[in-house]
Amino acid sequence: MQNTFIIGVIISTTNVRTFDATQTKFNKGERSVWSFILRDSEKDFINVTVWGNTEFVKKLSSTFNIGSVVEVISPKIVKRQPNDRNEQFIPSTSSPFTLIVNEGIALIQKHDAPTHEQYKNLLMQPVKSVTSVKSLKAILDNIEALCDHFVDLLVVVTFIADTRNIMTRDGRALLCRSFEVTDGSTDNAVSLILWEKDWVERSAFWEPKRTVLFLIDARIAYDEYKKKMALSISRQTLIMECPNIPQAAEIRNAVQRYDPDSICSDPFAVPNPDTITTVMTVQQITEKLQKKVTVEGERLQFAAIVKVSVTEMNLDGSLQDVISIKCALCKKVVTDVQDSCMNLSCPAGNGIRTPLNTTKFNIKVNLKDDTGYLIGCRLIGDVAERVLGCTVEEFQAMTVENRGELKWLYLLEKCNVCLHILGPTSAFPRALYNILSIQPCSEETEEAIEQTTAMLEN
């Protein structure tokens, strides 16, 4: 069909993918692709793929996101083929067709008309009946048999981690966010990761025990990283926020008994300190850690606020004690800023790529309250930069005396410290206490920190 015009709301998007096309038949340098799912009725939704030069594609992807109501003008309409490899990388849609927007031939623009709201309302309605849903218990009990299958789930979010920047082995920077869900059918929560930028940003507004998600075609597969079968969000999975269906209320009720600040399995999921509400003493933390760990191979994790004084911060020692330098690609430790990675199987180590190191704070802090001590709490990365009010580069440029002085911002002060606590495992017999934030209780200290920050900025 020629000159078509389709209006709908964007219900899901992918990241822009860029590749060098000089070796292909197009021979046009760098090209990019971006796709999204467009919906225009209760039942109908279709995949749209945008092709063009990187600037064109990035402009569209940053202008429109989940919830935008758009007009797709003059796209190429293609019949979906069941054996098409591309079908593996997009959610399955109700439409037998797919739309292709080629730069210069088709257009996408904002739909600015009174009907806008009627499309927008479709965003929160499930695209199909939730009768296809399997309970989490049924899935976890049969997870081996379900290998390489796709399942539908209706779940409530129980935990949302902070975003994380990851450098892949081939040097691409990715933003991701872990979160956890459950449905009341089991005591277990399941940890999932969002990789698509739009969803990573949108999930910042999810609320623990409130946000209900309909996950269509979540994938069950062997997870090389966790070394077991696991559920995951793949590129075929369609995520829908469904706050208003009757089942959402039921499922919210079923999870109210969950401990608010417990976290399940992903040891790299860093809790957002603003969401932590549980206050504990050092003794309560110690007692909780001594209780037997639940499932074999799973690490006990929880988050808590402790009201403590900071008794030690090792800022005046040698730089090597407070800063860790790693290869950005393979994450192996590099001994000095000037050194390069020595790992011969890493592109930066064997000379294929220019070495790139990442430098991070890695500070040890001791805390104390009336019930006991927590020794060797870790204050690392961005959190350390926020707490000290300077970047790791600024810190390296300071004199030893100035570095040492920074600790007096907190030392012996009463503070509210948010901790992410990881229990011991057979491989790591010591518990880890990761500091997520330090808030001094007195206003004077807060002022002093602001002054230091201002001084460093000038």
Q: Which of residues 305-334 bind Zn ion (CB under 5 A)?
A: 327, 329-330
Q: Which region among 19-27, 239-247, 342-350, 449-457 touches Zn ion (by CB under 5 A)?
A: 342-350
CB of 287 to Zn ion, least distance (A): 41
Nearer to Zn ion among residue 11 and residue 341 (C-beta): 341
Nearer to Zn ion among residue 314 and residue 340 (C-beta): 340
Burial of 280 (0-12, 13-18, 19+ CB in 10 A): buried
Contact between 346 and Zn ion (CB under 5 A)?
yes
The closest of 403, 324, 417, 431 to 369, measured between CA atoms, is: 417
Cα 316 from Cα 354, distance rounded (Å): 33
Q: Which region among 47-55, 340-348, 407-415, 423-431 touches Zn ion (by CB under 5 A)?
A: 340-348
Nearer to Zn ion among residue 110 and residue 169 (C-beta): 169
CB of 329 to Zn ion, least distance (A): 5
Nearer to Zn ion among residue 167 and residue 221 (C-beta): 167
Cα 385 from Cα 433, distance rounded (Å): 18
**Contact 90/127 with Cβ under 8 angstroms?**
no
CB of 349 to Zn ion, least distance (A): 5
Contact between 289 and Zn ion (CB under 5 A)?
no
Nearer to Zn ion among residue 83 and residue 345 (C-beta): 345
Burial of 165 (0-12, 13-18, 19+ CB in 10 A): exposed
- Contacting Zn ion (CB under 5 A), which of 8, 349, 423, 440? 349
What lies within 8 Å, CB to CB, of 113 at 6+ separation is: none
- What are residue 434's DSSP bridge partners? 378, 420
- Contacting Zn ion (CB under 5 A), which of 189, 233, 348, 419? 348
How would DSSP label each residue in 270-301? PBPGGG---B--HHHHHHHHHSPPSSTTPPPE
**Which structure tokens are listed for 258?**
């969950």
What lies within 8 Å, CB to CB, of 307 at 6+ separation is: 279, 369, 414, 415, 416, 417, 441
Nearer to Zn ion among residue 209 and residue 326 (C-beta): 326
Contact between 341 and Zn ion (CB under 5 A)?
yes
Nearer to Zn ion among residue 348 and residue 419 (C-beta): 348
Q: Which region among 1-9, 32-40, 186-194, 344-352 touches Zn ion (by CB under 5 A)?
A: 344-352
SS3 content of the chain, % helix, strand, coil (to 5): 25, 35, 40
Contact between 185 and Zn ion (CB under 5 A)?
no
Q: Please report, as ranges, the residues that interact with Zn ion according to CB under 5 A.
A: 327, 329-330, 341, 343, 346, 348-349
